[in-house]
Amino acid sequence: MTASKIQDAQPIDTLIVGAGFAGMYMLHKLRELGIGAQVVEAGSGVGGTWYWNRYPGARVDIQSLEYSFGFDAALEAEWHWSERYAPQPELLRYADHVADRFDLKRDIQFNTRITSAHWDNTEGRWLVGSEADEFWACRYLILATGCLSVPTDVTFPGIETFPRPIYRTSRWPREGVDFSGQRVGIIGTGSSAIQSIPIIAEQAVHLTVFQRTPNYSMPAHNGSIPDEDIHARASDPRGYRAASKDTPGGFQNFGNTALATQTSPDEIRAELERRWAWGGFRILGAFADTAIAPAANRIVHDFIAEKIREQVADPAVAELLTPKDHPFGTKRPCVDTGYYATFNRPNVELIDLKSDPLVAFNAGGITTAKRQHDFDAIVLATGFDAMTGAIDRIDLRGVGGRKIKDHWAEGPRTYLGLMVAGFPNMFTITGPGSPSVLTNMINSIEQHVEWIAECLASLAKRQHASIEASAEAETAWCRHVMEAVTPTMMPQANSWYMGANVPGKPRMFMPYAGGLHTYTEICRQVAAKGYEGFVIRNGDSVLSESHDFTSHPPMPDIPEALMPIIIERLMAAGLMPAA
C-alpha cells in the first residue's frame, strides 16, 4: 500500500465487511455501545445470502420463527412470517425491514468490495482497501463475510461455446428468469438444486438434471406455522428463544437420547415416521447414535431410501437418487418441497454423471459420454468455496505481513472461530472453528456478535487496547475442533465441510461440531476468565496475557454405550493416548 493511500484512508474505529444478518446486527450492537462503526458491502442491498441467492424455490430450511433475530422483543413481535419456511423474497424484505427499523443503511456503503486488509503494527490499525481503491484505517476489522458467499470456480470444457444463458443459483438475475417453453439443464443436486428443480420443472418444456452425487433430502411440509410453535413463542418469547439457543444446532430439534441400536424395530419405525411427518431436520435428532454408530446410521439411511422409493415411480431412478457414498448427516442434508416426485414428471430426466460422465459443453448444450443434450439455458447449482472462500480472497496480511492464505495453508486455524493468531483486532463472525454452518445461522450470529461487542466494550474501557489470539490457544482450539468431530462419522464424507468440493483445498473439518450450546458456554467462560487464550496490549505494554485455552467443556452427555467407539476413534486420530 502506498503512503498516499494510507494518508487518504478514512479513519474509523471499526470496519465491518458484509451487510448480511451478521454485519447488520454487529453495526447495531456497536452503535448501542457508542463504538464507531461502518459497514461495507459488495452488493447493492442488505441481506447477504438472501440478497444473492434469488434462484426459484430458495427458502430457509430452519423454521422462520427460529431463523430470525431474537435480540429485540419489539422487532420479534411486529414481524409475522407467512410460512413455516419463509421464501427468499420474504427473507430479503425482513433484512430490509431490520435495516430500516434500526436506521442501519446510513452507515452501510454498498457496491464496495474489499480486496485488501493489512495490519499496521506501528499504528495498531488495519488499512483496508476496496476494489475501487478506496481506503479505511480502522482499529478493529470485523469480517461478516458469510460462510457460503463465494461460489466455487467450477467450470467445464467448452463452457464458453454455449451461446445461450448460463445461470448460477448463487448469482441469480434480480429480474428473475422465465423458463417457459425452454429446454433446461441443471448441474448439481445439493440444497440449491433440490429447491429449484421442482419449480424449474413446472416451467420448462424439458428439464435435465445432471447428478454426480445424490443427497439425502427430507420433506419440508411447508405451510402455515404449526399452532404449537405459535403458542409456545407467544406465551414465552424469551423462553422460546433461550430453548432454541440452548441446543446443539441452535434450533429446537428435540434430540432423542435413546440409541437406535438398542431400540426395537417397531419403536424405531414409529420415531422415524413421527419425525418424517413433522418434516425438515427433525429426523437428525431421532437417535443419539446416528452420527456415531454405523449400524444406527444405516437404520436411518434405509428408512430414507424407502421413502425415496415411495416417492419415485421408476425404481431405477429411485435407486440413482439414493445416496450410497456417505453416511446420513455427514454432508449437509437437504429439505425439499416435492423434489423426489418431480422425477415422475414426463418432462424431467435424470442423468447419472457417474455412469455417463459429462464430456463438454458445446454450441447445442452438453455432451455426456453416452449422448448430446440440447438446451436453451443451463443452471449451475455447483456450490460454494465454503467458510474460507470469502476471507482468503481478500489480500489479508497480519503481523509482519503474514498472509492469511499462508497461515491457513493446511486448513483454517482460528481460536474459537473468532480470531486468528497474528491478526490482531480482526474478528470473524461464524468463522471456521465455530459452530456456524452446523447450526441455525442467526442464533450463531447473535452469539458471536454479542461476544465480540462485549469484548470491544471491555477493550474500550482500557483505552482501546488491542487483542490477539495467542498461538498456543489457537493450536489448542484447533485440536479441540478435531476432538469434537472425530468421534462422529462426519469426516468420512467428501463434503464442503471438509473443503472437499474445491480442488486443492486442504481437507480439514472446518466447523466446530461440539454444538452451539456447548460452544456458547466455552466462549462465556473464556471472557469470564479475563479473555483466556488472548493477549491484550496497549501499545507496547501487555495488559493481560494468557496463552492457554483450558475452558474445555466436559464431554457432552454421551451415552455410555458409545464410549468404546469414541475412544477408539480418538486414539486412532492421536487425540487420546493409547490405553
* Smallest gap from residue 294 Cβ to ligand N01 (A): 21
Shortest Cβ distance from residue 189 to ligand N01 (Å)? 4
What length is written for the chain?
579
Question: Closest CB to ligand N01 among 14 and 217?
Answer: 217
Are 333 and 213 within 8 A, CB to CB? no
The nearest distance, CB 442 to ligand N01, in angstroms, is: 11
In this structure, how many other beta carbons lie within 10 angstroms of the beta carbon of residue 385?
A: 21
Cα three-residue angle 165-197-308, rounded to 5 degrees: 150
Sequence-separated (6 or more) residues with CB below 8 Å from residue 323: 213, 214, 215, 216, 301
How many whole angstroms separate alpha carbon 19 and alpha carbon 46? 5
CA end-to-end span of the chain, whole Å? 54
Q: Which DSSP category does 554 fall into?
A: P
State the minimum distance, in angstroms, from the CB of residue 386 to ligand N01: 7
Shortest distance (Å) from residue 475 CB to ligand N01: 28
Measured at the CA of 319, the angle between CA 316 and CA 322, to 5 degrees, comes to 155
| C-alpha distances in Å from residue 484, one per residue of 34, 436, 444, 489 | 37, 14, 17, 11
Taking Cα atoms as reference points, which of 29, 100, 88, 94 lies closest to residue 68?
94
- Taking the complex as a whole, how short is the minimal distance between the CB of residue 257 and ligand N01, in angstroms? 26
Q: Which residue has the cell 473468532?
A: 418
How far apart, in whole angstroms, are the C-alpha atoms of residue 389 and residue 432?
Answer: 11
What distance in Å separates the CA atoms of residue 419 and residue 453, rounded to the nearest whole number? 14
Question: Judged by CB, which is closer to ligand N01: 41, or 385?
Answer: 385
For ligand N01, the closer CB: 38 or 145: 145
Q: Which is nearer to ligand N01, 52 or 549 (CB)?
A: 52
Residue with Cβ nearer ligand N01 (289 or 392): 392
- Contact positions vs ligand N01 (CB under 6 A): 59-61, 148, 154, 187-193, 195, 212-213, 332, 353, 381-384, 437, 496, 501
Query: Minimum CB separation from ligand N01 for residue 66, in Å?
Result: 13
- Closer to ligand N01 by CB, 365 or 383: give it: 383
Pairing state between β 365-368 and 348-352 = unpaired
Cβ closest to ligand N01, residue 112 vs residue 191: 191
Looking at the Cβ atoms of 118 and 326, the one nearer to ligand N01 is 326
Contacts of 358 (CB under 8 A, 6+ apart): 156, 187, 210, 366, 367, 368
**For the residues of 58-115, what is the DSSP string, one character each?**
-B-SS-TTTSS--S-HHHHHH---SSSS-BHHHHHHHHHHHHHHTT-GGGEE-S--EE
Closest approach of Cβ 112 to ligand N01, in Å? Answer: 25
Closest CA to 110 of 19, 44, 203, 39: 44
Q: Which residues contact 409 (CB under 8 A, 6 or more apart)?
A: 506
Phi, then psi, of 192 in degrees rounded to 5: -65, -45
In this structure, the strands spanning 183-187 and 206-211 are parallel
- The CB-of-129 to ligand N01 minimum distance in angstroms stands at 29
Question: Looking at beta carbons only, is 19 or 148 nearer to ligand N01?
Answer: 148
Query: Residue 259 or residue 378: which is nearer to ligand N01 going by CB?
Result: 378
Q: How many CB atoms lie within 10 A of CB 393?
A: 17
Q: How far is the CB of 213 from ligand N01 (least distance, A)?
A: 3
Nearer to ligand N01, 99 or 381 (CB): 381
- φ, ψ for residue 256 (rounded to 5)? -85, 135
Comparing every residue's Cβ against ligand N01, the nearest one is 190
Write down the least CB distance from residue 196 to ligand N01, Å: 9
Least distance between ligand N01 and beta carbon 384 (Å): 6
Query: For residue 359, what are the CA distances in angstroms to 75, 155, 268, 369, 372?
Result: 52, 12, 44, 6, 10
Looking at the Cβ atoms of 476 and 508, the one nearer to ligand N01 is 508
Considering the complex, what minimum distance in angstroms separates the CB of residue 328 from ligand N01?
A: 14
Nearer residue to ligand N01 within complex by CB, 148 or 283: 148
Q: At what angle do helices 237-245 and 227-235 cross, to 10 degrees?
A: 110
